[in-house]
Chains A and B, each alone.
Chain A
Amino acid sequence: MRLPKFDYVAPKTLDEALKALTAGGEGCRLLAGGTDLMVKMGHGLTAASLLVAIKGIEGLHGIRFDPSKGLSIGAATLIAEVAEHPDVLKYYPAVAQAARKTANTQIRNMATLAGNLCNAAPSADNAPVLLARGAEVEVVSQKGTRQLSLDDFFNGPGQTELARDEILTQILVPPAAKASGASYQWISPRGKVDISAVCVGVNLRLDGDVLKDVRIALGAVAPTPMRATEAEALMEGAKWSEALAEQVSAKASEESRPITDVRASAEYRRRMVSVLTRRALEEAHARAVENWGV
């Protein structure tokens, strides 16, 4: 596979990158890990006359955790770094789980978490759990900075809210509420390295014996990663029971809109949404109970 010809710049600061991106016009693309972009360009699916590489921008690297503000993951941070970071493992185990499940070792050593979101694959492994955890993204252009909820970020396969002159600079995840728990569950045809056929992220909180802030996000079963809001509503304010988890999972399955492709049939996916949602609810609930005293 030979790549088509293009120009390349590697700015050292965000300002330089924004300038290059604006000046570059229509044919300009941002390059982070390149694990999606290089493949798409090699296959002629994406054209670019100029690549602006962002990995050399110091300010976009790193993971910061503050117990009151939460987690901030810079746009140039590798998925491998997210998967192994002690604060992510301790305070955001489901986020670490999803990062660790993404692709294989080499890809995790190249690809960035921000890139996984910006590529906007319906199956993006890191999207459901970040949606469930109420993540936001910071977006910067020469005109200014805005922050938007990940709920409003995905527009379609490969399509996001990002304007052509904007750069996603960091992903922000709020701190976990008291007595809350999250979970990431997935299934894929080959188990380890391949793209998920279905993935599910769940977050919930216990208020006494009542469930609050229930968020259920599904991947690879709609044109974008999606929230199963009707399923969430069934559980919100209710008391935990296995029967309820079963009922909520069935509702999530009804809400999903999967297609048949090489990885799985629509029918199988719909069935798996229900199975994985139930597992995710059970794990998130168990974690919430465990976090009760913390």
Chain B
Amino acid sequence: MKHQIRLNVNGDDYELLVDPWRTLNEVLREDLNLTGTKLGCGVGDCGACTVLVDGKSVSSCITLAVAVDGKKIETVEGLAASGEKLHPIQESFIEKGAIQCGFCTAGMEMSALYLLRKNPSPTEEEIREGLSGHLCRCTGYNQIVEAIADAADRMKTDRGKGVKP
């Protein structure tokens, strides 16, 4: 039996009819066409599918869509909400060369967002720990860590200009 669920994704409300065995990742990508969130390992190891549910980072590939009924979902598409001005995290990723093939990027950026909201001034060790649930097979980890440190600075200085973390 299909279940009727409500999701708020990046500020937009959706009412959906979903089969209980479909994951949040499938519903985001296939029903809502939000393909920025990737599917990597499918077992919660690689972090490519990371989204925020009520502000907490989770692996969307092993989260059932029915289990997040009524919740607020944030995906990488919500980072640059206007579609024009990039989020400071995205600016930093570009500037520091933290993107190679790009497959891990959406997940990395969502974990960066989660980390920086909890801890606006992380140490390098804390950034690395915050990224420990992510794999980058291009192995550009150093640039990603640098980008997040840079984003932390940027968000502190941008905050006065009304950029939300």
- The residues of A with any CB-CB pair to B shorter than 8 Å are 1-8, 10, 31, 34-35, 38-39, 42-43, 51, 53, 55, 80, 103-107, 109-110, 192-193
Contact = CB atoms under 8 A, between A and B. Distances in A.
A104 to B, nearest CB: 3
User: Which 6 A-B residue pairings sit nearest by Cβ, starting from the closest?
Assistant: A104-B133, A8-B20, A1-B42, A38-B62, A192-B132, A3-B21
Contact of A8 (B26, B63, B66, B132): B66
Contacts of B50: 106
Contact of A104 (B20, B22, B47, B61): B47
Interface stretch (B6-14, B52-60, B80-88, B153-161): B52-60
Contacts of A106: 44, 47, 50, 57-59, 111, 133
Interface in B25-81: 26, 42-45, 47, 50, 56-59, 61-64, 66-67, 69
B122 interface: no
A160 B38 CA distance: 36
Given A8-B66, A31-B67, A53-B67, A107 B21 contact: no
Given A3-B22, A80-B56, A106-B111, 6 more contacts: A6-B21, A31-B64, A38-B62, A39-B62, A42-B42, A106-B47
17 contacts: A1-B42, A2-B21, A2-B26, A38-B64, A42-B43, A43-B43, A51-B20, A103-B133, A105-B130, A106-B50, A106-B57, A106-B58, A106-B111, A107-B59, A110-B63, A192-B129, A193-B132
Contacts of A192: 129, 132
Interface of B is mostly: mixed
> Interface centre among B1, B44, B114, by most A CB within 10 Å?
B44
Contact of B133 (A3, A4, A105): A105
Contacts of A38: 23, 44, 62-64
Nearest to A109: B56
Report the contact-size class of chain B (Cβ under 8 Å from the partner).
Answer: 20 to 34
B63 A34 contact: yes
A107 B133 contact: yes
B124 interface: no
Contacts of B23: 3, 38
A88 B8 CA distance: 33
B139 to A, nearest CB: 14
Nearest to A43: B43
A167 to B, nearest CB: 17
Given A105-B57, A106-B50, A5 B63 contact: no
Contacts of A39: 43-44, 62
Contacts of B44: 35, 38-39, 106-107, 110
A269 to B, nearest CB: 22
Contacts of A35: 44, 59, 62
B76 to A, nearest CB: 15
Contacts of A31: 64, 67
B95 interface: no
Nearest to A108: B133
B67 A6 contact: no
B62 A4 contact: no
A3 B69 CA distance: 18
B129 A110 contact: no
Contact of A7 (B20, B62, B111, B130): B20
Contacts of B3: 8
B36 to A, nearest CB: 17
B15 interface: no
A1 B59 CA distance: 14
B21 A4 contact: yes
A224 B1 CA distance: 38
A80 to B, nearest CB: 7
Contacts of A4: 21
A7 B59 contact: no
